[in-house]
Amino acid sequence: DAGVIQSPRHEVTEMGQEVTLRCKPISGHDYLFWYRQTMMRGLELLIYFNNNVPIDDSGMPEDRFSAKMPNASFSTLKIQPSEPRDSAVYFCASSLGLAGAYEQYFGPGTRLTVT
Amino acid sequence: QQPVQSPQAVILREGEDAVINCSSSKALYSVHWYRQKHGEAPVFLMILLKGGEQKGHDKISASFNEKKQQSSLYLTASQLSYSGTYFCGTATGTASKLTFGTGTRLQVTL
């Protein structure tokens, strides 16, 4: 298996622009997670899906952030409009189950820079 | 609430041992350990489930004291490849999400 795939790997955009991050989870994994990592706040869970359905989006910082999972093999995280404070590394992860007993496999991440 | 890790950073010479601690204020069901190398994604190391079991592979092992809500990661005879940031992740139940700790930066030198 190729593992979790994310694109793009790097994104530089100007404040106010729309940004779309993409993720392909490992085939057969029912759970997909979006994380954001910064020096100040560490690794934060933004939202997770189970069988393509959003279950918990309490970590999404603002209405500017939205996430979708139209099918089992694709998810997007969109920021509109983007702001400099959104600069971070965004990771997508997938797993067979929830955190109780299942490990999560992380994608390589998207490094977002908003100028 | 985010679990707290200690120490925040540690520098070792190759061959030395290290212990990284993870402490939570909540009752835990499981503790996960991940290692992240600079510029890369976190990589899963192991899970410890409620029951106080100890796990390990190669020269990295961990323990989980559910009464104290603490876990420790033990790295013995460290190698250069062990360098990176170690994160613990905690779950309060079988169906709960993972909350990651503050991270411990480990550097192994010659």
B87: nearest CB among A43, A48, A102: A43
| Rounded Cα distance, B86 and A17, in Å | 34
pLDDT for the residue B52: 62
**CA proximity to B99, closest of A3, A42, A92:** A42
A30-73 pLDDT tens trace: 999 999 999 988 999 999 999 999 999 999 988 999 999 999 99
Question: B59: pLDDT confidence band, cut at 50, 70 and 90?
Answer: confident
Beta-carbon separation of B87 and A108 below 8 A: no
Predicted confidence (pLDDT) per residue in B1-57, tens digit: 899 999 999 999 999 999 999 999 999 999 999 999 999 999 999 999 887 666 677
The answer to whether the Cβ–Cβ distance between B30 and A99 falls below 8 Å is yes
Q: Are B18 and B60 in contact (CB under 8 A)?
A: no
Q: Which residues contact B52 (CB under 8 A, 6 or more apart)?
A: B63, B64, B65, B66
| Averaged confidence pLDDT in chain A | 95
pLDDT at A71 (0 to 100):
95
Q: How far is A15 from chain B (nearest CA, A)?
A: 24
Task: Please indicate if any CB of chain B lies within 8 Å of the CB of A89.
Answer: no
